[in-house]
Amino acid sequence: MEHPWFWKPEATSGLKELHERLSRELNAKLTIDVEHGSTPSGIVVWPSHLAGSDLWESYVLGEDGLASYVAPGTANAVRNLSHAVRREMARLAKHRLPDGFPKSLVDRGFIYHGEVGWRGDDAVMAAEWLHGKGAAIVDAELWLVTNAVVQPHIQTGTGPVAYRYWTTTRPSETWKAFANRSLNEVVGFIRQFQWPENAAELVQQEVRFCLSWVWKEWLEEDEFRFPK
């Protein structure tokens, strides 16, 4: 099946059979109230490891082409399917690590739907290697890997908590300053992570961090230019 999420229209019949089939094909337990045998309204169904994730994310694009994530309803914001959902939709994608990336880090990484998550020390090494090759790290997301799937948050006593770092360029910031700052910030984000005291999860050794990066030429493809 192509996508792990579905929109079921209002008054869908055969609901129990549909959920049984989706559960098998998604390898995820989907639970519903089948008392009346049909949905009272349209709902989104997705695997249990995404429970608590947002379906949509809102952002505004800067002149540099990087996204600044904002609260839903923010004026002039663009709404898109959340990164977690889009990653699941791209489950057949291959990883996009640059040529020459250290094989030892590739082997120790957890490759999931085209992205790679590393444990803390390896994530720092990956960030430093990318920085050394001229990239800037602009995003880091905490993954909780359970049963070979990625849960992009930690369930706590007060609900799901996501841990994510992202950044954009600053006015008058040179490319070198931007790349150095983002490296220092993402290393701090990884090093300073602490398992929440009220976590409902039982396992924390499978915490990993997925990195996203950009090259200077990517941001300067259009009219944006870094100061000299």
Looking at residue 204, its pLDDT comes to 60
10-residue mean pLDDT profile of the chain (228 residues): values are: 39 59 63 50 62 84 92 88 79 80 96 93 98 97 89 90 94 97 98 91 80 96 93
DSSP H or E segment with residue 39: none
pLDDT attached to residue 5: 41
Measure the CA–CA gap between 70 and 78, rounded to whole angstroms: 9
Task: State residue 7's pLDDT score.
Answer: 42
- Report the pLDDT value the prediction gives residue 86, as an integer from 0 to 100: 79
pTM for the whole structure: 0.74
| Beta-sheet strands, E only, within 82-221 | 110-112, 115-118, 135-146, 149-151, 154-156, 159-161, 164-166, 207-215
Phi, psi at 91, each rounded to 5°: -65, -15
Architecture of domain 93-219: 2-Layer Sandwich (3.30)
Return d(Cα 213, Cα 134) in angstroms, integer: 10
Domain boundaries, the chain: 6-46, 93-219
pLDDT of residue 15: 58
